[in-house]
Amino acid sequence: MTDQNIEKYVRLYHSMLYRVAFSYLRSSADAEDVCQDSFLRLLNYPGEFPADEDCKRWLIRVAVNLSKNLLKYRRTHGGPQDPLDAADIPAEPTAENELLPLIKSLPPEYGAVIHLFYYEGYSAKEIAQMLDISVTAVTSRLSRGRRRLKKLLTEEE
């Protein structure tokens, strides 16, 4: 992997990777750490990716695994289980992202799937491959996440 390729992938995918990690970890600092670790693993990747989309999928998979590992470590060894802090939510300038704070308040398994489906544009099959779960599980999580979002929206009004 050349330095130019790494720089290109960091420019292209850093913010997306940060949002995916944040949807699991609910902490800006932890999400940044996962992003850095993901790009370090990319730096050590032995080959080249045939397309940018392949690299994107690989990075998402690495970030999801690192996030899950961090959560598992904290559950077994103790550690900060910080609640979602509004200051941690990445600011998005567009009006369509008004739902972002509500999506981030969902449990990680729902928030991550909703983010990948609606914000990153992946299909249920692609998400299933990235998260190493079945397509049925993805559609189920999407449905449950939508229901929870609807409930949050009606409570908010």
pLDDT at 90: 47
pLDDT at 92: 42
CA dist 117 and 5 (Å) reads: 26
Which among 110, 91, 10 is positioned nearest to 55, based on CA atoms?
Answer: 10
Place 148 in a pLDDT band, splitting at 50, 70 and 90.
very high
DSSP 3-state helix, strand, coil percentages of the chain (rounded to 5)?
Answer: 75, 0, 25
Digit-coded pLDDT (tens) for 83-142: 444 444 444 434 355 777 788 788 888 988 988 888 888 899 988 888 889 999 999 999
Q: Are residues 2 and 64 in the same domain?
A: yes
Host domain of residue 132: 95-157
Q: Are residues 106 and 148 in the same domain?
A: yes
Q: Are residues 86 and 100 in the same domain?
A: no
pLDDT at 157: 64
CA dist 89 and 91 (Å) reads: 6
Q: Are residues 36 and 57 in the same domain?
A: yes
Place 80 in a pLDDT band, splitting at 50, 70 and 90.
low
Q: Are residues 103 and 120 in the same domain?
A: yes
Q: Are residues 26 and 73 in the same domain?
A: yes
CA distances from 46 to 1, 10, 43, 83 (A): 7, 17, 8, 38
Digit-coded pLDDT (tens) for 5-22: 888 899 999 999 998 998
Digit-coded pLDDT (tens) for 27-72: 889 999 999 999 999 988 888 888 888 899 999 999 999 999 998 8
- Overall pTM surpassing 0.95 (yes/no): no
CA distances from 101 to 9, 46, 85, 113, 128 (A): 26, 38, 10, 15, 24
Q: Are residues 101 and 140 in the same domain?
A: yes
Q: Are residues 126 and 142 in the same domain?
A: yes
Domain boundary among 61, 90, 119: 90
Q: Are residues 80 and 39 in the same domain?
A: yes
Domain boundary among 63, 90, 117: 90
Q: Are residues 68 and 82 in the same domain?
A: yes
User: 74: domain CATH number?
Assistant: 1.10.1740
Kindly report the CA angle at 118 between 21 and 26, in degrees rounded to 5? 25
Domain boundary among 90, 112, 146: 90
pLDDT at 79: 61
Q: What is the CA radius of gyration of the chain?
A: 16
Number of structural domains (the chain) is 2
Q: Are residues 13 and 75 in the same domain?
A: yes
Q: Are residues 54 and 113 in the same domain?
A: no
Within 10 angstroms of residue 13's Cβ, the number of other Cβ atoms is 21
